[in-house]
Amino acid sequence: MTPHDHACLPPRFPQARPSECPFDPPQDYQDWRRRDGLQRATLWNGSTAWVVTRYEDIRAVLSDPRVSADARNPGMPRLSPAGEDRTDQEPPFVRLDDPEHARQRRMLTADFTAKQAAALRPQVQRLVDEALDEMVRKGPPADLLTDFALPVPSRVIAVLLGVPYDDHPFFQSCSNKLLDMSLPAEEVRATSQAFGTYLYTLVESKAAEPGDDLLSRLLAERVETGELTRQQLVSMALLMLIAGHETTANTIALGTLALLRHPEQLALLRDTEDPAVIARAIEELLRYLSVVENVVVRVAVDDFTLAGEQIRAGDGLIISLPAGNRDTALLPDRPNALDITHNARAHLAFGFGVHQCLGQNLARTELQVAIPSLLRRLPSLALAVPFEEVSFRQQMSVYGVTRLPVTW
Amino acid sequence: MRRVVVVGASAAGLATAAALRQQGFGGLITMIGDEPHLPYDRPPLSKQVLTGQWDAERLLLRPESDLKAMNLDLRLGVSATAVDRTARTVTLAHGGTVPYDALVIATGVRPRLLPGGHGRPGVHVLRTREDALALRDRLGDGRRLVIIGGGFLGTEVAAAARQRGADVTIVESGAEPLARIIGRAAGRFITGIHRDRGVRILTGLKAETFDTADGAVTGVRLDDGRTLPADDVLVATGSVPNTDWLRGSGLDIDDGLLCDAHGRCAPGIHAAGDVARWFNPLFGRAIRVEHRTSASEQGIAVARDLLTPATPQPAAPVPYFWTDQYEVKVQSHGYLPGHEESAVLDGDLAEGRALIGYRRGRHLTGVLAIGMPAKDVRPWRAAVARRTEWAAVTSAPTPAR
Ligand SMILES: Cc1cc2nc3c(=O)[nH]c(=O)nc-3n(C[C@H](O)[C@H](O)[C@H](O)COP(=O)(O)OP(=O)(O)OC[C@H]3O[C@@H](n4cnc5c(N)ncnc54)[C@H](O)[C@@H]3O)c2cc1C
Ligand code: HEM
């Protein structure tokens, strides 16, 4: 069934990226962006919401005080059966509005500044080198996703938070399920609860054996002072653990694949030592790939007009970052092409407004170290299967590849 | 081991159950708690709840659905009244019994009462959610609160009550509030903060009886003959382990359940939390600590010992507690009661920022930090854990990392 089968029903959301060019946003989204007005779309449960695809509209929505991110607001679009139907606990701060969102976020900002990220660079480099050593030692072929792209950011966030890396099979499988939109609500709920029990026990054990890590500090400095409840700390930890590795991992794997498809750009990036060139290339990859695909949703809490449409309080709004990042308003020159010399710095891959990614400096450091190190260490890196056989993460909140067999 | 029964559904009991599940235990876990509430956190009761910043919902340790997902046989509002160690059963108040393969006792403590007066309007203790809400609702501008007992609980409540505008008097039988635990200098410092905020502090005096009119309290009579008029009285004179239900069980319940360094108190029986007196190799004796952190630490250690009894890992934890006195945060690592000497090792009490060390025997057995960031205190915790010689810390008072 195609989205247009029912003339009366608005098209479906989400849709799949085109198999001919799996880096591009779904074709419909690109069309909607070019048309006037805003598109309405039908979700899995038959409800409808506006889809915002234009660069300027997205920035307007994400900085409008009449728009709420609070998951408890009626009308908030639910992109999948599991879509946050927990009513018995406060959502994590990414799904809260100011002032409570700002209050919690401020407790973390000092740990995620550009300066902090720069200070972590040697440590990130060491973890990258270790992962590469290990992959090389095992020899080709390798799955770049599980042998490199996932371990690097998981280790980094585990060290920062103070989560034992030995537990990574558990927390990775939990994150994966929590981002999987095809799973039944019960399974996602059970996963989030098991993850919660894990983090609760971890936080409780931190109290007894405090380390020099973020969770220990938050416990001593925020929970014991009554600024955070234990539950808030657990959901904060869960948010950072998931947000902190899936996104970066998928950008590394998908980015490597995109570069392998554009060998001249790969060579350009591999052969430069210039940090400015590298930084620019990473911004372009972030923009071009926009892996945060089915995550950013909002609801209007007041009436207003957007792109000539009347939005009413209670209307759901879905933000398509991949579509917005291909808008000529961001990049007049060939927005659908990957060009690591593009100046893409104003992209939307990290979102926009008060919820703009807390971990963006860290993510940049990880990407700027991981991708060039990989290309330099393995100059003969190549896909180990035909491109057509690479399978992509469909029906996931964060886009990427499911495996990436490579050789060298 | 197929069936674990946990008696006491609070910090220590829940930590045990959560750690058992987290470590893969698939058997039955029955958790019996006499309070009618889901497990909740107590430290905020004398802080954010009394000041009115938090409502009681925020105290929950885990959301209800997450508890359900832990697949617990949760029996709330039911007390355990006896244990039969031969049959391995726990008897419940309404008559039923619950069989166990392993029993974990985490029944905590209750406030020590003064003879007469309790149960009258205006006479309070503070241990439960109900206690805190009842006291919160009575505090307010100009209301007269007399606190009997100048320990951590009494002083925290004084701070919260002052923030609510109440008129507060602390009656302390010792020479200085808190002095018995943290020494005179530190006690005097904290007392000073309270005096500056207008708390009246009477020392060396004992409360003898309550004055009442129409059944409600109107004042407290002291052993020097004086009467302190009061709208409310909080009795905060320490606590008693909840071990009455274990009388006749043959367990050693003299000041809490005596346990070894794994929390074992008898074959098939462990204890954790405020009710437990664990042997701690670091101090060479069994100590009972009423600290929030120890409750979860011991609960987690008990779960580990239940699941891998063949590879016991004796715990030598450094006890930790914190208390908020107005905006001053006080933290302590180690075991302070019964110390023989104390000295300021860093900072200066006059500046409101100090680290005080405590000696018992030849070693540094505890530290107390006043107004110091947690990260500056952590090396001192390590120094206690290493059983550093007192002579070493007093001569070169910066602990090596
Ligand atoms: C007001 C207040 C403030 C505090 N502030 C601090 C602080 O700032 N820092 C700090 O470190 N610690 C603090 N504490 C201490 C901390 O809360 C305790 O150490 C902790 O709650 C101990 O947990 P527990 O599970 O061992 O016992 P408890 O929390 O006492 O739980 C025991 C449970 O068992 C139940 N029970 C008892 N007998 C039976 C029975 N026979 N059958 C069934 N159930 C039974 C009890 O009703 C209770 O629910 C504070 C305590 C209070 C009351
Ligand atoms: C390539 C990597 C990453 C991408 C593309 C990315 C993208 C995003 C986006 C789009 C949002 C906004 C969500 C919204 O508005 O609803 C966001 C928020 C967030 N991200 Fe990231 N992220 C990345 C890496 C990280 C890392 C490494 C962390 C580390 C902790 C992190 C932590 C967070 C947090 C905590 C938020 C919520 C911020 C708030 O609500 O204030 N992210 N991220």
Angle between helices A275-289 and A246-261 (to 10 degrees): 100
Contact flag A200-B60 (C-beta cutoff 8 Å): no
DSSP assignments along A356-407, one per residue? S-TTHHHHHHHHHHHHHHHHHH-TT-EESS-GGG--B--SBSB--BS--EEE
C-alpha distances in angstroms, B212 versus A132, A214, B229, B230, B231? Answer: 78, 52, 10, 10, 10
B318 within domain boundaries:
no
Where would I find the beta strands (DSSP E) of B129-284? Answer: 144-148, 167-172, 200-203, 207-213, 216-222, 227-229, 232-235, 239-241, 257-259, 264-266, 269-271, 276-280
For residue A109, the enclosing domain spans: 17-27+85-294+326-393
Q: Same domain for B155 and B188? A: yes
B140 lies in the same domain as B97? no
Q: What are the pLDDT digits (tens) for A134-156?
A: 999 999 999 999 999 999 999 99
A318 occurs within a structural domain: no
Q: Which of A190, A200, A226 sits opposite B53 (nearest CB)?
A: A226
Q: Residues A19-45: pLDDT tens digits?
A: 999 999 999 999 999 999 999 999 998
**Cβ <8 Å between A197 and B48:** no
Chain B residues with beta carbon closer than 8 angstroms to that of A196 = 62-63, 66
Closest CA to A296 of A112, A82, A71: A71
Residue A178: its pLDDT value, please? 87
- Give CA separation, A323 vs A13, A64, B121, in Å: 13, 20, 66
Position B28 in a domain: yes
Q: What is the pLDDT of residues B355-377, one digit of tens each?
A: 999 999 999 999 999 998 877 88
The count of domains in chain A is 1
Nearest ligand for residue B9 CA: 1
Read off the pLDDT band of B401 (50, 70, 90).
very low
Comparing CB atoms, the residue among B22, B63, B69 nearest residue A89 is: B63
Smallest Cβ–Cβ distance between A226 and the set B21, B48, B378 belongs to: B48
Ligand 1 centroid from CA B128, angstroms: 8
Examine the pLDDT at B400 and tell me if it is beyond 70.
no
| Residue B60 domain boundaries | 3-110+240-307
Is residue A109 over pLDDT 80?
A: yes
Q: Is residue A262 part of a domain?
A: yes
Q: Both B134 and B281 in a single domain?
A: no
Indicate if ligand 2 lies below 6 Å from the C-beta of A350: yes
Give yes or no: residues B100 and B134 share one domain: no
B375: domain CATH number is 3.30.390.30
**How close is the nearest chain B Cα to the Cα of A222, in Å?**
11
* Residues of A whose CB is below 8 A from B66: 89, 193, 196-197, 200
What total number of domains does chain B contain?
Answer: 3
Instruction: Please give the average per-residue pLDDT across A88-116, as a whole number.
Output: 94
Check if A292 has its Cβ closer than 6 Å to any atom of ligand 2. yes
Q: Are residues B35 and B69 in the same domain?
A: yes
Do B164 and B261 fall into the same domain? Answer: no
Residues A188 and A185: their CA atoms lie apart, in Å, by 5
Which domain CATH number covers A336? 1.10.630.10
B88 and B49 co-located in one domain:
yes
Are B253 and B301 found together in one domain? yes
Q: Is the pLDDT assigned to residue B271 strictly greater than 60?
A: yes
| Alpha carbon distances (Å) from B50 to A156, B123, B160 | 40, 16, 6
Q: Based on the domain organization, do B300 and B371 belong to the same domain? A: no
- The shortest CB-CB distance from A204 to any of B21, B296, B320 is to B296
- Report chain B's mean pLDDT, rounded to a whole number: 93
Indicate yes or no: CB of A196 within 8 angstroms of CB of B297. Answer: no
Q: What is the reported pLDDT for A2?
A: 47
Indicate whether residue A289 lines ligand 2 (CB < 6 A).
no
Domain annotation covers residue B316: no
Q: Kindly state whether residues B122 and B261 are assigned to the same domain.
A: no
Asked whether residue B152 falls in the same domain as residue B38, the answer is no
With respect to residue A50, please indicate whether it lies within any of the assigned structural domains. no
* pLDDT per residue as tens digits for the range B132-172: 999 999 999 999 999 999 999 999 999 999 999 999 999 99
Q: Which ligand 2 atom minimizes the distance to the CA of A250?
A: 1
Whole-number Å distance, alpha carbon B380 to ligand 2 midpoint, is 36
Tell me whether residue B71 is in a domain: yes
Report whether residue B231 contacts ligand 1, using a CB cutoff of 6 Å: no
Question: Does residue B232 sit in the same domain as residue B126?
Answer: yes
Picking from B22, B51, B323, B378 by the largest number of A CB atoms within 10 A of its own CB, the best residue to mutate is: B22
8 Å CB contact of A208 and B296:
yes
The mean pLDDT of B322-339, rounded to a whole number, is 90
**Per-residue confidence (pLDDT) for residue A172, from 0 to 100:** 87
Decide if the complex's ipTM is over 0.85: no
| Interchain CB contact of A226 with B (< 8 Å) | yes
Domain membership of residue B401 (yes or no) is no
